[in-house]
Structure 1
Amino acid sequence: MFEAKFNDGVLFKKIVEAVKELVKNVNLEANGTGISLQAMDTSHVALVALQLNEKGFKKYRCEKSLTMGLSIENLQKILKCSGNDDQITLRTQEEEPTTLSFTFESKNRISEFQLNLMSLDQEQLGVPDTEYSSVVRMPSNEFTKICRELGNINEAIGIETSKDGIKFFVKGDIGEGQVSVKTNESEKLEERVECDVDEPVNLSFAVRYFNLFNKASALSNQVILSMSQDQPLVIEYIIEEMGSLKLYLAPKINDEESQ
């Protein structure tokens, strides 16, 4: 028996919206501690890692660890049948589930749907916990705005960190530009910028992936960028009281245009 009821159904819809253009078919893993998902994008440049803790659900029960393979496209079709005010419950009573049930509840209406599951040959990648030399916390809407603006100039964005802040820069055929964001200790969390830099980094990334990742900004008003030189960048959105969505992106190597 597996049952997971979201306090806020629209949150689940936002999560699916955030990853739909990165991954197509995924294994949803459920156990006694919550729900997780790990999947590479088709080009094997980016990794999506979702963790939702059981304490964050309105109701959660999982008697046996389950792996549920599903199509993100088909999942989204089911979720389009729900309203933004609906409570969403995922449920299956099968030990080897072939379908996943969805219940959408509003004040005057209950809708029920079944999604056919898939058998996917995907391994859990076991992403290790890593100590990063630069960790930057900044408003997610500011990060989105910077990526959108600089992406008009070049396909790659450089990132440079220091104890004073973070700099984003581009150099392309039409010219070059940079945006520096300084640390601040604003009392408003959504405006605060914090830079924990043991060693500065200077890396370059494909802006196309940043723009895809930024669809997750609806999940949190802050984004956490964790970096070490020549290592994948981690872009993390904390999902309040539930868990997190982490997006890993490999840096571009020897990209002269971004230097």
Structure 2
Amino acid sequence: MLEARLNEAAILKRLLEAIKELVADANFECNEEGINLQAMDNSHVALVSVKLDATGFKRYRCDRPMPLGVNLNSLTKVLKCAKDDDVVIIKAADDADILSLTYEARNSDRIAEYDMKLMDIDADTLGIPDTDYDARVTMPSSEFSRIVRDLSQLGESVRIEVSKEGVRFVSEGEAANGNILLKQSEITTKAGSSSTKKEEDADEEEENEEDGEDEGGDGKKKAKKAKKEKVKKETGEDVSMNGEEEDDEEEFKADGEDGEEEQEEDSSSKKRKKAPAKATGKATKKAKKSKDGDDDGDLPDGVRIELNQHVNLTFSLKYLVNFSKSSSLSNVVQLMMSNDVPLLVSYEFGQGHIRYYLAPKIGDD
């Protein structure tokens, strides 16, 4: 018995849209750890591997390992009947030939139920060996999508070269050539140092004010008194009434050093809050990034390159354009390469991951 409850139908819809053109029929292998899919395209050039962790579901139960053979185009049509924010409940009995999908609307009592016929698909699960890649490029998935889409207008292949200079995408067509270089970004470091510098400046300014308070004495008190009177005028209080001004002055003097320190602390705390404002905005963006699935939590517009050895390989753009459709699942993509080894394109998201393996082109093949 399988029962899986997913908070948002959008996850499954985006997942199916990303792989349906590569693979027609596939087995979803279900076990207590989650749901896995592994399939090759018809030409055996590309392999797709999907994992949905059991922890990514609101509720998950799988009594025993079971395959769910589905036609991906048919499943895509059934999923289109759900709204993006609908709760999806997937059910299948042991040895059943029917897959049940129930959509529960969040803001209404609408419940839609669909039954889909399962298929017997005889497919061998391929063992994917662990590989130590010579180059790893982490970049925004939107940037990767744009590059492969643009270069696919020029030619059928792209040469990806990773070196100390950066990662270069080169496509040569009959009418035009394209060459795009992405250098490693240092945005994270700069943002951090800028924030630290602003905080240090704020602290230094606060210290200077405290020193000035000790040296300034009466002048400081007069300035604060004038400021206080100005505030009262703005709020509509009558400062010119007999005796009130003197009372205020006496009250100010009675507070003594404590009153001054309190106002200084308020002033300095405001300055502290204002100083790192820009850095805070970026930090929020960074946190969102981490939540969406980037384990390292880099800024989405940054490019990071880890290089052990120079890599230079050529791939089919048609497949890369298909892979890039997974950018709707994650803001970050990782390209992992070694010479004479299939390229690994990996997207991590909250419920699991989707990985593509693409064999490089050799010579004119």
TM bin, normalised by shorter chain, reads over 0.9
Amino acid at match of 2:167: I
Partner-residue secondary structure (3-state), 1:191: coil
Query: Aligned partners of 1:185 and 1:55: how far apart in 2?
Result: 34
Q: Which aligned pairs between 1:29-178 and structure 2 lie closer than 5 A?
A: 29-92=29-92, 94-106=93-105, 107-108=107-108, 109-178=110-179
Measured after TM superposition, the shift of residue 150 of structure 1 is 1.4
Amino acid at match of 2:50: L
Contact 1:48 1:248 in 2 (8 A): yes
Contact 2:9 2:79 in 1 (8 A): no
Measured after TM superposition, the shift of residue 186 of structure 1 is 2.8
| Partner residue of 1:199 out of 288, 304, 309 | 309
Amino acid at match of 1:239: F
Partner-residue secondary structure (3-state), 1:85: coil
Deviations 1:26-52 (A, max 9, x none): 000000000000000111111010011
Contact 1:68 1:97 in 2 (8 A): no
Contact 1:28 1:36 in 2 (8 A): yes
Bigger radius of gyration among the two: 2
Deviations 1:223-248 (A, max 9, x none): 000110011001010012x2100011
Q: Which aligned pairs between 1:166-245 and structure 2 lie closer than 5 A?
A: 166-187=167-188, 188=286, 189-240=299-350, 242-245=351-354
> Percent identity at matched positions?
43
Query: Aligned partners of 2:119 and 2:53: how far apart in 1?
Result: 24
Measured after TM superposition, the shift of residue 19 of structure 1 is 0.4
Query: Aligned partners of 2:173 and 2:81: how far apart in 1?
Result: 44
Query: Aligned partners of 1:25 and 1:103: how far apart in 2?
Result: 22
Measured after TM superposition, the shift of residue 164 of structure 1 is 3.8
Query: Aligned partners of 1:185 and 1:113: how far apart in 2?
Result: 50
Q: What do you get for the CA RMSD once the two structures are aligned?
A: 1.2
Contact 2:7 2:85 in 1 (8 A): no
Query: Aligned partners of 1:202 and 1:213: how far apart in 2?
Result: 20
Query: Aligned partners of 2:75 and 2:186: how far apart in 1?
Result: 41
Contact 1:15 1:219 in 2 (8 A): yes
Deviations 1:160-186 (A, max 9, x none): 001342000112221322100011133
Query: Aligned partners of 1:13 and 1:231: how far apart in 2?
Result: 31
Contact 1:164 1:195 in 2 (8 A): no
Comparing both structures, which one devotes a greater share of its residues to strand? 1
Amino acid at match of 2:114: F
Amino acid at match of 2:143: E
1:248 aligns with 2:357: yes
Query: Aligned partners of 2:104 and 2:310: how far apart in 1?
Result: 49
Contact 2:138 2:303 in 1 (8 A): yes
Amino acid at match of 1:14: R
Query: Aligned partners of 2:310 and 2:324: how far apart in 1?
Result: 24
Query: Aligned partners of 1:191 and 1:86: how far apart in 2?
Result: 31
Query: Aligned partners of 1:97 and 1:133: how far apart in 2?
Result: 45
Instruction: Mark the runs of 5 or more structure 2 residues left unpaired by the alignment.
Output: 189-285, 287-298
Partner-residue secondary structure (3-state), 2:11: helix
Measured after TM superposition, the shift of residue 89 of structure 1 is 1.2
The two structures have a TM-score, normalised by structure 1, of: 0.95
Contact 1:155 1:207 in 2 (8 A): yes
Query: Aligned partners of 1:58 and 1:236: how far apart in 2?
Result: 24
Contact 1:135 1:196 in 2 (8 A): yes
Deviations 1:41-89 (A, max 9, x none): 1111110100111111111111100111000011011111111121111
Query: Aligned partners of 1:120 and 1:186: how far apart in 2?
Result: 48
Instruction: Mark the runs of 5 or more structure 1 residues left unpaired by the alignment.
Output: none
Partner-residue secondary structure (3-state), 2:328: helix
How many residue pairs align between the two structures?
Answer: 254
